[in-house]
Structure 1
């Protein structure tokens, strides 16, 4: 009998406890603020240049993230996104929360934001997407539309077809640039090369020819337009000198001539030979001690069909057009390239999803370093006659030195982890420069 009462008492106590738990849970559910709930990881774009309202939920494979530019969402976010060309030295989200992953997208050379090249700045980022093969989302071959574009003969002109224009010199060379002040000394080199060869220059720099009327409008935003490619494909050579010489910084200047079946005369990335379709796909300025030596070789090459076409095996060798295994692997594995019009294929969409997946799936114990951007602090330029320097190289060297000083100040401010403004940063930069304390 006593045993039966004990069971009844125990059962009644269990029921009472259960009812209490249900009551408490139902009360919490009824009073829960759904406006604060979210099943999505949040990422915040940190840029004053995004003046429009941006707030989207993006599906990234099996993961979902909310991506916004609403700065008041920062406490709820797990990632902060920066666009390199728009970063301001006095505008960073500090104090920085321990949960915050900083992610940098910067496809440009250091001319816009020189402090990015420095390890002192880069080591505050978990995730990067730059031209360097060592970044988390490399953009090394972003300006190559596809492997098929390299091998296609859509714009291919035979050696005989390129040689039929009696009004052009045998070594017909095109140059088309509108950025006339570069770290690589591009315009200085071409100016010297023009002493020995006739070069048709269509851009703002050293212009001596006009594009056809149909191509004059906005050609800079249509660098791969079929009409422009057909027009330039009749040349034998095209000058392809980057605005800065950084490892893996390779733009359309290199890929576009190859797509057309024109031989690039290239200067820029010191790692360029890692990425050319075959062992001999371009003429490299650095292989010649001065422009005169290059000019002599171009004249020889322009009159020798066998030698000329040996540079165009990606068009002519139908059995094995691309022998570079690194390039072939990259074409299969790369996350972004121009010309992809499928949904979610833009550079910013790809970057956002890469960061989304990184934040959710990756342990955050590895930070970026200088290899993630990989640009030398000392400007590298093409060799001129008599070891002359390009006219503006001293200005670019000074700019990179200031960038190095900026990176050191930002490093100290980030480590201090307290808020600062542009006036604070500029005051410290001025103080160090006045006292020669930047180096």
Structure 2
């Protein structure tokens, strides 16, 4: 009697489980029959089979950029621009056969300024962008007035260029770095290649050297091999980063490489202080305009060199920022590659380069 009662109870408990198992099995059976039918349909229908295959995404064709000729005749190796920017690389060529196929043509000013009429007669595609490229100052850029209405885009050191290509820039570090200043054993250095006695910078130097010793390197002065430039300048407390002409944003490798990359304090002569502060922290350089005379500047440099704490304050920005020299031609043309792929362009022409580039 007890055994019969146990069986009744067990069956009552098992009944929901058996019902659930039956429903689950039925669902699985229907599912598998559906999948078999669907597979047979695809197998017998090639077009359906093709449609279901995942087609690989098509890559957009690489932009081709024609460099009209080597800048100043200086050959260089093109680099993979995708390593500098999060955009695809471009195809660069100097083959003029691409003149009617390239997306853009980069024309270096100093290499064509003597034949602007010939440049104007060249056939061009309606959608093609001609890029005016120049790193020289207006004082050394002849025949600008003849360049009107020829180009669609500007590429220069000017911040208001379409494609901004500075001589250098400051890179923000991921975390603060320990401050390291090269040992200083000498006072003031200047490296100059283009010596013109009537230039503003040479006249200022002539006055400055009356009050403080300045070691001058370059042609007709102390010899300095290229590979010894940075190690030599790094021994000096100050470097004269004097530009050959004074124009807006014209701040060249004299500051970025010769001074900042060597680890010395630049004494600058160029555009006004507020223009330099668009590129640099205000306490990273000394501007000649801050002093009433070359004599007062010399006095300040001597005092600063004798005060390690004050001198060290000119390097505090280096804990967070790193100077990067960008004067390599390949680096510049990659900026054009990146710009063309990331900027929505409406067709236009630059009407008057001479009026803008001053």
Report what 1:201 is aligned to. Answer: 216
CA contact (8 A) 1:79 1:100 kept: yes
Report what 2:111 is aligned to. Answer: 86
TM-score by length of 2: 0.64
User: Larger relative CO (CA 8 A, sep 6+): 1 or 2?
Assistant: 1
CA contact (8 A) 1:241 1:268 kept: yes
Task: Return closer, same or farther for 1:152/1:356 CA change in 2, 3 Å cut-off.
Answer: same
Report what 1:282 is aligned to. Answer: 285
Q: Distance between the aligned counterparts of 1:312 and 1:154, measured in 2?
A: 8
Task: Return closer, same or farther for 1:43/1:152 CA change in 2, 3 Å cut-off.
Answer: same
Secondary structure at the counterpart of residue 346 of structure 1? helix
Residue correspondence of structure 1 range 303-314 to structure 2 within 5 A: 303-314=306-317
**Deviation by residue 1:57-95 (Cα, 9 ceiling, x = unmatched):** 998976676543333443334432201231233231525
Q: Distance between the aligned counterparts of 1:193 and 1:132, measured in 2?
A: 30
Secondary structure at the counterpart of residue 168 of structure 2? coil
Shift of 1:264: 1.0
Secondary structure at the counterpart of residue 128 of structure 1? strand
Do structure 1's residue 69 and structure 2's residue 94 form an aligned pair?
yes
Task: Return closer, same or farther for 1:245/1:58 CA change in 2, 3 Å cut-off.
Answer: closer
Secondary structure at the counterpart of residue 236 of structure 1? strand
Q: Distance between the aligned counterparts of 1:370 and 1:182, measured in 2?
A: 33
Task: Return closer, same or farther for 1:42/1:252 CA change in 2, 3 Å cut-off.
Answer: closer
Return the match for 1:338 from 326, 337, 341: 326
Q: Distance between the aligned counterparts of 2:238 and 2:303, measured in 1?
A: 13
Report what 1:425 is aligned to. Answer: none
Report what 2:344 is aligned to. Answer: 362
Q: Distance between the aligned counterparts of 1:147 and 1:58, measured in 2?
A: 20
Q: Distance between the aligned counterparts of 2:97 and 2:304, measured in 1?
A: 62
Secondary structure at the counterpart of residue 74 of structure 1? helix
CA contact (8 A) 1:104 1:125 kept: yes
Q: Higher strand proportion, which one?
A: 2
Report what 1:45 is aligned to. Answer: 67
Larger Rg: 2
TM-score by length of 1: 0.54
Residue correspondence of structure 1 range 7-406 to structure 2 within 5 A: 42-47=64-69, 67-90=92-115, 91-94=118-121, 96-97=123-124, 98-116=126-144, 121=147, 124-140=150-166, 142-144=167-169, 146-147=171-172, 156-157=181-182, 162=184, 165=185, 172-181=187-196, 185-204=200-219, 207=221, 209-210=222-223, 216-217=224-225, 219=226, 222=227, 228-255=229-256, 256-270=258-272, 271-277=275-281, 279-315=282-318, 318=319, 321=320, 338=326, 346-347=330-331, 349-354=333-338, 356-357=340-341, 362-368=344-350, 375-376=357-358
CA contact (8 A) 1:77 1:100 kept: yes
Q: Distance between the aligned counterparts of 1:51 and 1:176, measured in 2?
A: 22
